[in-house]
Amino acid sequence: MGYPHPSHPGEQALLSKYFGDPGARSYEGWVKRGGYEAFKKALAMTRDQVTEEVKSSGLRGRGGAGFPTGLKWSFMPREVTKPHYLVCNADESEPGTFKDREIMRWTPHQLLEGCAIAAYAIGAERIYIYIRGEFTAEHRILVDAVEEATRAGALGANVFGTGRRIEAIVHRGAGAYICGEETAMMNSIEGKRGNPRIKPPFPAQAGLWACPTTINNVETLGSVPHIIREGGAWYKGLCRGNPKSTGTKLFSVCGHVQRPGNYEVVMGTPMKELIFTMCGGMRPGRTLKAVIPGGSSVPILTAAEIEDCVLDYEGVAAKGSMLGSGGMIVMDDSTDIVYQVMRLARFYAHESCAQCTQCREGTAWTTRILERILAGKGKPEDLDLLLDLADNMTGTTICVLSDSCAAPVVSAIAKFRPEFEAYLNRTRQPVLATA
Amino acid sequence: MSGSAHQAVHDAGYQPVFVGDALARLEALFAWYPTKQACLLPALWMVQEARGWVSQRGIGEVADVLGLTPAYVKGVVTFYTMYHTHPVGRHFIQVCTTSPCNICGAEDVVKAFLQHTGCGELGATSPDGRFTVIEVECLGACGFATPVLIDDDFIEGITPERVPGLLQGYK
């Protein structure tokens, strides 16, 4: 449902069915709502059958990459010769994205059930749930939920009397966007600076403490119980667009819409339906200017580009952007694109781990150049310089933080060039005092 | 950041954190990880919860109890923005100002906090020692602009008008 707003008829609430219902938060409340039946069902299947079911559902990673979940699980070695680990990525930090927080605060057991099923499928006895440090309330909720589930025997040394060990612990981050990147997250859990690692080796080969590891996003794992309960074929049938994008997806819509919130729709739903019908469109007297559709790390789309854009991985890619995490930043005609791109660049500069030169220097200089443009001190060649920097920041680093900074800059210059030029040719008043 | 953030601060009269119950809680965590090093972030959280910040002495104690070097621990402490490496006000206020909140007026919320707390500038502590205000990058609650984290209280939908009343709750 469009939490905090009432459910819209255009939504299909699986993950969000109990958002706003405090009764769903406890173990007992979750069991009353059919919880942990899927986990019991999975335990009666073989590990391979569980993975196959998820493969057949077409579920793709909801953290942003869109990698097929069942396939990812199948990369884990079949024989367990050293510990296997599951890491739940609850580090939700991508600007514009706030869906995982809602899953955790209302339905922590939905997440734990998905974690338990995934751990079973990949042969892991231990689950680390890595939650960002700022999510103080959700941290407490998850810690309590793990304790409850353990007391009830849904987690622990002997889950539901099967003799199988699946334990979970919540690991709290301490303020670092980059720890949402899976290899940085593993370093952080190991007690290191959150520097991303070079891949290969991939986590399934050598992850946490060089052991086979799978990292899945909260929403991905939360979807798993529904797939096991209703079947992969059923989930695959939830599709309005490209058959490669299946199931429901939570879209976090923020910015200048009348009803910002989380909306769960079937993949392939038109973007306009989400923004104008469900979210109520723009504020009175305002018109849509631009949308960043997949969290801040993806290219900006203009109002014209979203006209016939459908919300699935292929639909948004066809418009030259990415579905990403489904965090949509909606900007109306009051928005200063140059200023907001500077704020995004500042975000990436602040969050760069500083390992790679292109990123450390690139994000910082991108920010400084944008700041001087906004201060009325831009030079005629600054736009070319920004594009040249962006070119050097794309595809040249260990992780994609650098690329993520370049994407909004390049797309904004391409699509809103006159706004940058207005600062450069002094037809627009500076908005920053110094630079 | 203001000057106060960079002043060398000494933690005179440091009392060890990892004794009694706190030590037992940390040692209980060791069973969950194959290395003691993995308990570094949790241990640093415990120091900050007990002392309000992570001093050089605190770093030394954590290094000792986990079998790491102080230099290594400091490297980790300084990577993560939520550990305070200097004392802050009794109430630490973090206002999200990243783009989604920014376009909804977050910078006016920051101004209201700076004005009503008496902090004057970002990163500075108010003269009465009550507040420190900083801008923080995306708090992950973009649909509830502007979210603010005061100590461990995550508060949604803050507008400049709500700031004075909100501060009353933090003495």
**A189: chain B residues, CB-CB within 8 Å:** 38
| CA dist list (Å): A317 to A96, A270, B65 | 18, 14, 50
Q: How confident is the model at residue A55 (pLDDT cuts 50, 70, 90)?
A: very high
B144 vs A: CB within 8 A:
yes
Q: Does A98 touch chain B (CB under 8 A)?
A: yes
Contacts of B45 in chain A (CB under 8 A): 172, 174
Average pLDDT of chain A, as a whole number: 97
* Domain ranges within chain B, ordered by starting residue: 3-77, 91-168
Asked whether A316 and A323 are in contact (CB, 8 A), the reply is yes
Cα distance between residue A103 and residue A434, in whole Å: 42
Q: Given a cut of 80, is residue A1 above it in pLDDT? A: no
- Report all structural domains of chain A as residue ranges with CATH numbers, in order of start: 22-236 (3.40.50.11540), 248-332 (3.10.20.600), 337-424 (1.20.1440.230)
A167 touches A124 (CB < 8 A):
no
**Does position A114 have pLDDT exceeding 90, yes or no?**
yes
Q: Which of residues 336-365 of A touch B (CB under 8 A)?
A: 339-340, 343-344, 347, 350-351, 353
pLDDT class of A435 with cuts at 50, 70, 90: low
pLDDT tens for residues A2-43? 688 888 999 999 999 999 999 999 999 999 999 999 999 999
Q: State which amino acid sits at residue B134.
A: I
The DSSP code for A209 is G
Over residues A106-124, mean pLDDT: 98
Residue A278, SS3 per DSSP: helix
What residue has token string 């102080």? B70
Beta bridge partners of A127: A86, A168
Is A297 part of the contact surface with chain B (CB cutoff 8 Å)? no
Predicted confidence at residue B9, as pLDDT, reads 65
Domain B91-168 CATH superfamily: Glutaredoxin (3.40.30.10)
Partners of A86 in beta bridges: A127, A214
Tell me whether A329 touches chain B (CB under 8 Å). Answer: yes
Q: What is the pLDDT of residue A295?
A: 93
pLDDT tens digits for A353-387? 999 999 999 999 999 999 999 999 999 999 999 99
The topology under which CATH files domain B3-77 is: Arc Repressor Mutant, subunit A (1.10.10)
- Here the ipTM equals 0.95
Residue B77, C-beta contacts closer than 8 angstroms, at least 6 positions apart: B44, B54, B59, B83, B85
Q: What is the mean pLDDT of each run of 10 residues along chain B (171 residues)?
A: 48 89 98 98 97 96 98 98 97 97 97 97 96 96 97 97 97 93
